[in-house]
Chains A and B, each alone.
Chain A
Amino acid sequence: MDILVIHLLNALLYASVLFLIAGGLSLIYGVMRIINLAHGNLYAFGAYVSAWAVGRATMLSGGDAPGGPSAPSTALLLLVLPAGALAAAGVGAVLEPTLLRRFYRRAEEYQLLVTFGLLMIIDDVIRFIWGPYPLSASALFENFGSVAIGEAIYPTYNFLVIAVGGLAAVFLWAFIYKTRFGVVLRATSQDMRMSAALGVNVNRVYVQAFTLGCLMAGLGGAIIVPSQSAVLGMGVDALILSFIVVVVGGLGSLEGALLGALIVGVVREAGIAWFPEIELAVLYLIAALVLLLRPAGLFGRP
């Protein structure tokens, strides 16, 4: 029973991070109709920046030994943790107007190629800045300690990740369905020309939506990095998983991204526990099956 609870919590943990990444990807696709292949790398970038920030904060507050006499305070570390999200958002805010904007009217192959080029570039920029070794922010993770669930123990920090994922979903929902900006965003995504004719500054909406999407990816990286180190290649893996999420849930739909993230989280956790050899294959097959049976995804607009 305890083990089942732990599996469930792990599934939720995956789902939270995946929702943030895939939700950003889906939001960007929904508004601009562009698939950003470099999206996973922005998640990785966020993870690296946060790990670096936490590492700096640990060093500056004088203690490298967690739990030691001068261990950095949890509050300080939590304060610097979102640095990755902001950094990823900043990259997005620069990339959209300077590079991606000119591709919206061009054929999809060019959109995919230019973002594929970005993927290669960001991958190596990360390698250039932080080197080829994993970067961890475990001080924060260890500060949180763990709780007992029946016979087993579970890291407390993971609850924070799940909470952030859940909160992000609620905030986004409120943001998109309850605010004026959300109305403008939805209008632009439904009919760009009509909203432009009605006086919406479409270019501004595009850069905001892209930045928000990147912020979500960066936040995903920022909150997961204390429990799992930032490593090279994490971006590409995350991109493929979030592809599965958006394909299952429906490209361009946030509800779909949430449901897709939950499905992928549960299947992945079950896969790791019971069928590790074909865990990834099962995920891809689910995506392929959904595409065959419901090409627009479970929540997508056909």
Chain B
Amino acid sequence: MTTAALALEHRSPVRTLGWAIPALVILVALPWVADQYQTILLAYGLIMGIAALGFNLLLGYTGLLSFGHSAYFGVGAYSVALMVKYLDVTSMELFLAGAVVACVLVTAVFGFACVRYTRIFFGILTMALSQVLWSLAFKFFWVTGGTDGLRVPTPTLLGVLTGAGDKIEFLATAYYYYVLAIFAVCVAVMWVIVNSPFGRALQAIRDNEVRAAFVGIQIRKYRWVAFLVSGVFTGLAGALWVPLNGLTTPDIMHWTFSGEIVFMTVLGGFRSFTGPVIGAIVFNYLKTYAVGYTVYWQLLLGVVLVILVVSLPTGIVGTFERLWTRWRSR
């Protein structure tokens, strides 16, 4: 690993706002330009962006590769579905609150077990634990609906907006902006986290565990908190995803879905802050069109992934930054 690749360099808030505000303006303006289908597709992308952003706090900033983040996405989604089934809740805010509470509980326990290990064992342990949840969702069909999953109707946003009329219209406007607002908040919060002393400490642990311990960082505790934050972000994404999809099935708990989260993060570039978000949005388009184009979409994505890790390991953002620096230094 080169030092250049390791540098998640500090960005000043002013410079960050320099790209964040135009990006936000584009995202806000988009529903006026693009049709409903494109808007909903982008909403999916933004949601996966939140999931990948959370995931990357562990991979990019703490140096832990989780192969079980589908579990937290699934916990978010299933806690919403179960709130609908058993408590007749329709308020989106309650859904999000419930999902966050459920995710905190689950990630606190899972994280406590997982952060005792690093490297490959961390990956396998997170995967094994996520598969426990998957098999429960799969087998306890009288609670979770088994492979049929659970249906989730359109929720009530902010206590007033409902999807009573045209559901597609609702998802492409009100719900899109709702997702966008939460996405913006999540990005901002994550930016603050990774640039806080806590975020710096995580990067120190990633780069040199022994030195980090010597300067007094409680490594396991920091990793545990990072795990918790990471899982809650991903769970929040799951909660936002399920009303959009209208249905939750055990597939989103399966470890191959964790693989997709890793895929999108590396596609965008896990050595940069924006990489996972861009990777998630691009992956979402890639997968949607690949699935629509051919039944062999897995083959297509697999080839993309292999080419990516062989020749572009820094992902879209990393490659772009490298080209940009080369162009500027001319």
CB neighbours of A162 from chain B (8 A): none
Of the four ranges (under 10, 10 to 19, 20 to 34, 35 or more), the interface on chain B belongs to 35 or more
Q: Which of A91-113 contact B (CB under 8 A)?
A: 99, 102-103, 106-110, 112-113
Cβ contact within 8 Å between B255 and A240 = yes
Q: How far is the CA of A113 from the CA of B119 in the complex (A)?
A: 14
Minimum distance in angstroms from A83 CB to a CB of chain B:
23
Cβ contact within 8 Å between A35 and B120 = yes
Majority secondary structure, B binding face: helix
Q: How far is the CA of A33 from the CA of B251 in the complex (A)?
A: 30
- Closest A residue to B121 by beta carbon equals A295
Minimum distance in angstroms from A154 CB to a CB of chain B:
27
Cβ contact within 8 Å between B139 and A291 = no
CB neighbours of B299 from chain A (8 A): 120-121, 123-125, 128
Minimum distance in angstroms from B133 CB to a CB of chain A:
8
CB neighbours of B297 from chain A (8 A): 124
Minimum distance in angstroms from A41 CB to a CB of chain B:
10
Q: Which of A253-302 contact B (CB under 8 A)?
A: 276-281, 284-285, 287-288, 291-292, 295
Of the four ranges (under 10, 10 to 19, 20 to 34, 35 or more), the interface on chain A belongs to 35 or more
Cβ contact within 8 Å between A240 and B131 = yes
Minimum distance in angstroms from A162 CB to a CB of chain B:
27
Question: Per-residue 0/1 for A3-17: is the Cβ within 8 Å of any B Cβ (1 yes, 0 no)?
Answer: 000000000000000
- Closest B residue to A246 by beta carbon equals B124
Minimum distance in angstroms from A260 CB to a CB of chain B:
13
Which one of B181-189, B207-215, B306-314 is at the interface? B306-314
CB neighbours of B125 from chain A (8 A): 288, 291-292
Interchain Cβ contacts within 8 Å, total number: 125
Minimum distance in angstroms from A1 CB to a CB of chain B:
30
Question: Per-residue 0/1 for B297-326: is the Cβ within 8 Å of any A Cβ (1 yes, 0 no)?
Answer: 111011111101110010000000000000
Q: Which of A103-158 contact B (CB under 8 A)?
A: 103, 106-110, 112-114, 116-121, 123-125, 127-128
Q: How far is the CA of A287 from the CA of B132 in the complex (A)?
A: 10
Cβ contact within 8 Å between A99 and B139 = no
Is A236 an interface residue when CB atoms closer than 8 A count as contact? yes
Is A231 an interface residue when CB atoms closer than 8 A count as contact? no
Is B103 an interface residue when CB atoms closer than 8 A count as contact? no
CB neighbours of A288 from chain B (8 A): 113, 125, 128-129, 132
Q: How far is the CA of A96 from the CA of B261 in the complex (A)?
A: 26
Q: How far is the CA of A123 from the CA of B256 in the complex (A)?
A: 12
Q: How far is the CA of A116 from the CA of B264 in the complex (A)?
A: 13
CB neighbours of A118 from chain B (8 A): 302, 306
Contact of A121 among B1, B128, B306 (CB under 8 A): B306
CB neighbours of A121 from chain B (8 A): 298-299, 302-303, 306
Q: How far is the CA of A64 from the CA of B256 in the complex (A)?
A: 38
Is B266 an interface residue when CB atoms closer than 8 A count as contact? yes
Contact A287:B305 (CB < 8 A) given known A236-B256, A278-B139: no
Q: How far is the CA of A10 from the CA of B271 in the complex (A)?
A: 48
Q: Which of A36-56 contact B (CB under 8 A)?
A: 37
Q: How far is the CA of A295 from the CA of B117 in the complex (A)?
A: 8
Contact of A112 among B116, B123, B306 (CB under 8 A): B123
Contact A291:B302 (CB < 8 A) given known A113-B266, A113-B309: no
Q: How far is the CA of A297 from the CA of B129 in the complex (A)?
A: 16
Minimum distance in angstroms from A279 CB to a CB of chain B:
8
Minimum distance in angstroms from A284 CB to a CB of chain B:
4
Is B37 an interface residue when CB atoms closer than 8 A count as contact? no
Cβ contact within 8 Å between A284 and B131 = yes
CB neighbours of A292 from chain B (8 A): 113, 116, 125
Q: How far is the CA of A113 from the CA of B307 in the complex (A)?
A: 11
Minimum distance in angstroms from B67 CB to a CB of chain A:
7
Contact A277:B139 (CB < 8 A) given known A108-B123, A112-B67, A124-B298: yes
Contact of B1 among A107, A112, A120, A251 (CB under 8 A): A107
Cβ contact within 8 Å between B120 and A108 = yes
Is A243 an interface residue when CB atoms closer than 8 A count as contact? yes
Extra A-B contacts (15), CB below 8 Å, given A109-B65, A280-B131, A284-B132: A99-B306, A99-B310, A109-B59, A118-B302, A121-B298, A121-B302, A124-B298, A240-B131, A243-B128, A244-B128, A278-B136, A280-B135, A281-B132, A284-B128, A295-B116
Some 18 contacts from A to B, beta carbons below 8 A apart, are A102-B310, A103-B309, A106-B313, A108-B120, A110-B313, A112-B262, A113-B309, A116-B262, A117-B304, A117-B309, A119-B302, A120-B301, A121-B302, A124-B296, A127-B295, A280-B135, A284-B129, A295-B117
